């Protein structure tokens, strides 16, 4: 896929509307707990600054449902962005109207502006034309570097390009598209798919689209329990997506037809409740006893999965192996993260929880590519066109 990129353009002295994904996690004191998404767009920001542009960053944060919510303000992001760029970022307390215009008009070449949360206005998610026009009036040209939002046809992703036809992709989007295209086009075999977490229905389309390309699939978390139940095996009190069981059965059928390797855990860590003070033990087999909840894959599963990882040349991982946020139940996910990092495979990790796991394991720098958008990466691998990417094609 060939994209129009920032390197194809001249931004000298221009005001650039840069759509970024600064949807970062905040603690109760509104401190940023993980600035990965801010850092991910620094290459594009710094490149535009080197071109003497005025860089107008725009993002959403959280789900404010179309109205201002103090806890979802991008003000903490402006402070962090100032630290990372070494520039005093000018923060506008709105993303459209007189307030935004005033801040943008005060900016000079080489300045960075950050607009307030786009989703404080319902028109953003509605892709409203007049709102799109108001955003466009702030700038001379448009750059999209928000891969994590590019599967949404929102005003700042799609609508704005009707009014700012000078458009391009940033370096992050280019990197994301190149890495994911490598999985779809000619992945080096064996190709391993590691799927965990919940939202089985969200991942079924991706699994189906990759069946002709993958050699092995390993599962953990709610994904695994749903497939175990689809085989009519016991899952105890483990969370299972009942609505997805027919889909899981359909996938099983396809896997057998193609003679693909498919693994659910050989053993599990099970607990009486999902809490730090839970009673827990490791099962001897791949089913979960009645009355207990599966919270992690067991050591036999870790060993088997690590072997699958060692044999692979290409790996895509989305979703943790269990409730890794709780320390006693984190071992399986952490061991898988370490095994992926130690492999010689081209590895791509997507989804917030999987990224948190590789950060927790301290191996992020050993992963070939880390996707900043879980939902967007799944839709891309499902073969769906992403509205925010399609409009940037050459």
Evaluate whether 5 touches 169 at the Cβ level (below 8 Å). yes
Which of these is catalytic: 199, 213, 311, 366?
199
Q: 386 is written with which tokens?
A: 């992403």
**Tokens linked to 312:** 């692979």
Selecting among 9, 14, 19, 37, the annotated active-site residue is: 37
28 is catalytic: no
The one catalytic residue among 322, 352, 373, 388: 352
User: Which residues share a beta bridge with 16?
Assistant: 55, 141
Let me know if 90 is a catalytic residue.
no
Cα(232)–Cα(339) distance, integer angstroms: 30
Q: Is the peptide bond before 190 cis (omega within 30 degrees of 0)?
A: yes
- The question of whether 352 is a catalytic residue gets the answer yes
The continuous run of DSSP H or E covering 18 comes out as strand 15-19
Alpha helix ranges (H) inside 217-270: 221-230, 245-258
Q: Is 256 a catalytic residue?
A: no
For residue 350, the cross-strand partners are 318
CA end-to-end distance (rounded Å), the chain: 9
Identify the three-state secondary structure at position 281: strand
Q: Which residues pair with 219 in a beta bridge?
A: 195
- Note the helical H segments in 51-153: 75-85, 97-106, 122-126, 129-136
Coil, helix or strand for 280?
A: strand
Tokens coding 208: 């189906």
What stretch of H or E contains 331? helix 331-342
- Catalytic one of 220, 286, 375, 388: 375
Q: 65: which 2 tokens?
A: 């449902």
Q: Which residues are catalytic?
A: 37, 199, 352, 375
């Amino acid at each position: 896929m060939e994209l129009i990129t920032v390197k194809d353009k001249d931004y000298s002295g221009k005001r650039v509307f840069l759509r970024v994904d600064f949807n970062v996690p905040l603690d109760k004191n509104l401190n940023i707990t993980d600035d990965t998404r801010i850092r991910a767009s620094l290459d594009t920001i710094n490149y535009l600054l080197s071109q003497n542009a005025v860089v107008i960053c725009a993002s959403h944060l959280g789900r404010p449902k179309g109205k201002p919510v103090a806890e979802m303000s991008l003000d903490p992001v402006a402070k962090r962005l100032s630290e990372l760029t070494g520039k005093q970022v000018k923060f506008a307390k709105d993303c459209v109207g007189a307030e935004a215009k005033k801040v943008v008009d005060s900016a000079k070449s080489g300045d960075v502006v950050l607009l307030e949360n786009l989703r404080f206005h319902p028109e953003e998610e509605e892709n409203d034309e007049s709102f799109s026009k108001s955003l466009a009036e702030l700038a001379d040209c448009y750059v999209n570097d928000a891969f994590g939002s590019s599967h949404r046809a929102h005003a700042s992703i799609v609508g704005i390009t009707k009014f700012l036809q000078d458009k391009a992709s940033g370096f992050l989007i280019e990197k994301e598209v190149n890495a994911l295209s490598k999985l779809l086009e000619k992945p080096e075999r064996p190709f391993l798919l590691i799927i965990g977490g919940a939202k089985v229905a969200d991942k079924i389309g991706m699994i189906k689209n990759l069946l002709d390309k993958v050699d092995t699939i390993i599962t953990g978390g709610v994904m695994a329990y749903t497939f175990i139940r689809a085989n009519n095996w016991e899952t105890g009190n483990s969370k299972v997506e009942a609505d997805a069981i027919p889909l899981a059965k359909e996938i099983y059928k396809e896997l057998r037809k193609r003679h693909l390797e498919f693994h659910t855990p050989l053993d599990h860590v099970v607990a009486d409740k999902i809490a730090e003070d839970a009673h827990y033990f490791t099962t001897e087999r791949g089913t979960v006893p009645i009355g207990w909840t599966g919270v992690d894959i067991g050591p036999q599963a870790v060993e088997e999965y690590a072997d699958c990882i060692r044999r692979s040349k290409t790996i895509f991982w989305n979703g943790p192996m269990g409730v890794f946020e709780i320390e006693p139940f984190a071992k399986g996910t952490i061991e898988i993260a370490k095994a992926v990092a130690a492999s010689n495979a081209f590895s791509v990790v997507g989804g917030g929880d999987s990224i948190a796991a590789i950060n927790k394991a301290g191996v992020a720098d050993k992963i070939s590519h880390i996707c900043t958008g879980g939902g967007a990466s799944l839709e891309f691998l499902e073969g769906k066109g992403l509205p925010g990417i399609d409009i940037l094609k050459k």
